[in-house]
Amino acid sequence: MEKLDNQDAKILRELQRDASLSLDQLADAIGLSRNACWRRVRAMDEAGIIRGRVALVDPGAVDLGLMVFMQVRTHSHAPDWQAKFRTATQTISGILSVYRMTGDLDYLIRARVADMAGYDALYQQLIHLVPIADVSASFVMEEIKDTTALPL
């Protein structure tokens, strides 16, 4: 796919706002014909620009009201340890995001749990699956801004 143009950016903004829009609603919102809009969306799907469409669930409504950021340090940077860590973090359902970092910490994990007992269970599961030198956690007291929309 060629570089995104203004119309593509408009489509992506609308879909990030509400992915449940019908093709007719999306076309109307950005001022394109239904067919032109469909071709652009299909091209962005095929190019991997649109990775999927999801429903955003209220964490409190499903008893996952506590967000935690876990800072992980390891003594090993060997490929086999990294593969084991990747597999472990991908299999633990409460882990939402994992980032390999520069600086003093090696990995940053964002997770959702019901409460401190839920965090302890997640922590115990992680250290059981992979050896970790140090884990420290910070718990979110207030979510001021949390968005999935990219600034297009």
Domain boundaries, the chain: 6-46, 59-139
Predicted pLDDT at 1: 78
Secondary structure (3-state) at 138: strand
139/124 Cα distance (integer angstroms): 17
What is the H or E stretch that residue 42 is in? Answer: helix 34-46
Predicted pLDDT at 23: 97
Predicted pLDDT at 16: 97
Whole-number average pLDDT of the chain: 96
CATH of 6-46, one of 1.10.150.530, 2.30.110.10, 1.10.10.10, 3.10.20.310: 1.10.10.10
pLDDT of residue 33 exceeding 90: yes
pLDDT of residue 2 exceeding 90: no
Query: In 10 A of CB 94, how many CB atoms?
Result: 20
Is 59-139 assigned to CATH 2.60.40.10?
no
pLDDT digits (tens, 9 = 90+) for 67-102: 999 999 999 999 999 999 999 999 999 999 999 999
